[in-house]
Amino acid sequence: MDATAVQAVFQDKIEQDLKIEPKDPMPDRYRAHLIRQISQHAHSEVIGMQPEGNWITRAPSLRAKQILLAKIQDEGGHGLYLYSTAETLGISREEMIEQLQTGKAKYSNIFNYPALTWADIGAIGWLVDGAAIVNQVALQRTSYGPYARAMFRICKEESFHQRQGYEIMANMMKGTTEQREMAQDAMNRWWWPALMMFGPHDKDSAHSGDAFKWRIKRKTNDELRQKFIDKTVQQAEVIGLTIPDPDLKWNETKQGYDHGEINWEEFKRVINGNGPCNKQRMEHHIRYHEEGAWVREAAAAYHEKFPTD
Amino acid sequence: MTLQEALFNYLLRLGDNALIQGHRLSEWCSKAPVLEEDLALTNMALDQIGAAQAFLKYAGAIENKGRSEDDLAYKRAERQFFNNLMTELPIGDFSFTIAKQLLLSSFEFFLFRGLSQSKDQTIANIAAKTLKEVHYHLAHSRDWCFRLGKGTEVSHEKLQNSVNALWMYTDELFEMGEADEVLMEAGIVFSLKEIKPKWLELVSGILDDANIALPNVDYMQTGSRKGIHTEHLGHLLSEMQFLQRAYPDASW
Ligand SMILES: [Fe+2]
Ligand SMILES: [Fe+2]
């Protein structure tokens, strides 16, 4: 099939709102766009294990430790699942990891912030997973079949994570003065980066044209951010946390909150590699990947010698 | 030693073994050679923490002084822990963790198989549940012993070195103390001496299949039955217990 025919068949399916499946004809740019997006999503799950992993050995109760371990394990599982989803588009996990480690592929900027106190584990679950859910629920209707199905499976677990994170915050807000301060401090540090997870304002957003045309994306950055803010502000109020935005106010006409200016300078700085943890995250990933090389080699050599085992 | 004291002590041993080994396994998070192993190791950590929770909870009930499983995990000091020394050793490289897991899981296989027949119904129940998990841990470490032992020269050498380094901690697993004697009388536990030859047969069979030689050591480490540990445990606890110690009035 030549490029024009591919385009025609593909566009027809998109128009009818049918899912594109791995063997279906698709334009190269659609494929490339998806590989970029899905691998970035997979890398985010994996890199996100680092800030939360930072607290596993210090979790304050056996229950908290189990919940956190299970959560991080879920995230790793999401990573695996998304790597396989990207593999259906003709790229291997090794290639994706190489792209991550050479800086060609990105991961979510949010994980370039540090998890400093136990309350950060609450804030990450509640705000970061909470923001991720808003994005991912929208992606359940994305045009690429395997990606849409991955989102269905993943969203169920993410909403668990969000509730567990919220529970940590709620418990701390019912606790001692020190605990309440810790929770508010985490809120102050994670709120704005969480809003940045939705990306630039619609008016400044690059690449989104194609994503809409191909129905990879169906809601704009600002629409999704609004959704997140509206549900989260109420949750914060219930447990007595203050949103660190003096300009935040209810807008009766739009039936949603208006928020203050997001610091896009910071956003750009962190995306360009100068966040608090960019170097640390990447060095960690590379270090343990390299330290594990002999294990992967051993497994491959063993498999070669004993293919049936 | 009364039956109650013996049971409390024995439950602490079981709970501490699971707690400390689970803690060490959890340190692998985001550091494993492949993502699948990251999940497998944290999964085993989860199993262990779950077992620790069950045993320590029961220990608290037997002690009957109002201490919860968290009090026992987070508010005891080094000398009050009774886990086997092997569990507290730092994770080392992947071969060390695998070798350690093989030695411990094969021990736990016989231990929990025996305890699942205990006259103490709570112990029998926890042991039966744990035994199911141990089957998986044992298979996992056995398969990796094969891969590492027969994979490359490098992996073979690393695994052999790890097994050599760990061997002096194996005798302690089977040490019997006063608590064991008291509980044996009551039909609650069995003699660990009985399972040692079976353990050795299982382990040496697996190591042999993995081309790993059985180490020869002239001294076996001991101490944990009396709460005497390696220097590593104190560091582990200072990290694990940090929040509970720093904010004694807080609940989480
Ligand atoms: Fe996730
Ligand atoms: Fe999540």
Q: What is the ipTM of this complex?
A: 0.97
Q: Closest by alpha carbon to B12, among B62, B81, B61? A: B81
The answer to whether the Cβ–Cβ distance between B32 and A168 falls below 8 Å is: no
Comparing CA positions, the residue from B41, B18, B36, B23 lying closest to residue B137 is B41
* pLDDT, chain A, mean: 96
Contact, A127 vs A61, CB < 8 A?
no
Distance (angstroms) between ligand 1 centre and the Cα of A78 equals 5
* Chain B residues close to A299, C-beta within 8 Å: 147, 151
What pLDDT, on a 0 to 100 scale, did the predictor assign at position A2?
87
User: Residue A100: pLDDT above 90?
Assistant: yes
Residue B163 · residue B144 · CB < 8 Å: no
Give the per-residue pLDDT at A204.
84
Are the beta carbons of B91 and B166 closer than 8 angstroms? no
The whole-number pLDDT of residue B200 equals 98
Instruction: Show residues of chain A in contact with B244, CB under 8 Å.
Output: 60
User: Is the CB of A76 less than 8 angstroms away from the CB of B38?
Assistant: yes
HSE-CB at A103 with a 13 A cutoff on CA atoms is: 6
Of B46, B69, B93, which is closest to A69 when you measure between CB atoms?
A: B46
Mean pLDDT within A163-172? 98
User: Is residue A184 pLDDT above 80, yes or no?
Assistant: yes
A258 forms beta bridges with A249
pLDDT value for A208: 66
Nearest to A309 among B23, B146, B252 (CB): B146
Predicted local distance difference test score (pLDDT) of residue B68: 98
Q: Which two tokens stand for residue B20?
A: 């400390």
Q: What is the chain A residue with the closest CA to B48?
A: A66
Distance from CA of A292 to the nearest CA of B (A): 4
Could you say which of B39, B240, B252 has the minimum Cβ distance to residue A73?
B39
Please check the confidence at residue A205 and state whether its pLDDT lies above 80.
no
DSSP B9-25: HHHHHHHHHHHHHHHHH
Q: What is the four-CA torsion angle of B69, B74, B76, B81, rounded to 10 degrees?
A: 80
Residues of chain A found within 8 Å of residue B154, distances taken between Cβ atoms: 294, 297-298
Q: What mean pLDDT is predicted for residues A184-210?
A: 91
CA-based nearest residue in chain B for residue A66: B46
Burial-class residue A159 by CB neighbours within 10 Å (0-12, 13-18, 19+).
Answer: middle
> A58 and B239 in contact (C-beta within 8 Å)?
yes
Instruction: Check: CB of residue A27 under 8 Å from CB of residue A6.
Output: yes
A166 alpha carbon to ligand 1 midpoint, in Å?
Answer: 16
Question: How far does the CA of residue B194 sit from the closest CA of chain A (Å)?
Answer: 33
Is the predicted pLDDT of residue A207 greater than 80, yes or no?
Answer: no
Distance A122 CA to ligand 2 centre (A): 12
Question: Distance, CA A74 to ligand 2 centroid (Å)?
Answer: 7
State the pTM of this model. Answer: 0.96
pLDDT digits (tens, 9 = 90+) for A227-282: 999 999 999 999 999 999 999 999 999 999 999 999 999 999 999 999 999 999 99
CA of B165 to the centre of ligand 2 (A): 39
Number of the ligand closest to the Cα of A47: 1
Q: Are B74 and A60 in contact (CB under 8 A)?
A: yes
Distance of residue A277 Cα from the nearest chain B Cα, in angstroms: 15
Task: Report the pLDDT value the prediction gives residue A43, as an integer from 0 to 100.
Answer: 98
Place domain B3-246 in its CATH homologous superfamily. Answer: Ferritin, core subunit, four-helix bundle (1.20.1260.10)
Best residue of B20, B27, B28, B30 to probe chain A, by most A CBs closer than 10 Å: B30
How many CB atoms lie under 10 A from the CB of residue B45?
Answer: 24
The Cα diameter of chain A in Å comes to 70
Residue in A83, A295, A305 closest to B94 by CB: A295
User: Where does the pLDDT of residue A206 fall: very low under 50, low under 70, confident under 90, or very high at 90 and above?
Assistant: low
Nearest to B243 among A118, A291, A309 (CB): A118
Report strand pairing: A256-258 vs A249-251: antiparallel
Residue A309 is predicted with a pLDDT of 78
Those residues whose C-beta lies under 8 Å from the C-beta of residue A237, and which sit 6 or more positions away, are: none
Residue A1: predicted pLDDT: 78
DSSP designation for B168: T
- Residue pLDDT, tens place only, B53-71: 999 999 999 999 999 999 9
Which pLDDT belongs to residue B194? 96
Domain positions in chain B: 3-246
**Per-residue H/E/C for chain A:** CCHHHHHHHHHHHHHCCCCECCCCCCCHHHHHHHHHHHHHHHHHHHHCHHHHHCCHHHCCCHHHHHHHHHHHHHHHHHHHHHHHHHHCCCCCHHHHHHHHHCCCCCCCHHHHCCCCCHHHHHHHHHHHHHHHHHHHHHHCCCCEHHHHHHHHHHHHHHHHHHHHHHHHHHHHHCCCHHHHHHHHHHHHHHHHHHHHCCCCCHHHCCCHHHHHHCCCCCCCHHHHHHHHHHHHHHHHHHHCCCCCCCCCEEECCCCEEECCCCCHHHHHHHHHHHCCCHHHHHHHHHHHHHHCHHHHHHHHHHHHHCCCC
Chain B: residue whose CA lies nearest to A94? B34
What confidence score (pLDDT) does residue A224 get? 97
| DSSP summary character for residue B78 | G
Residues of chain B whose pLDDT is less than 70?
Answer: none
Backbone angles phi, psi at A258, to 5 degrees: -90, 145
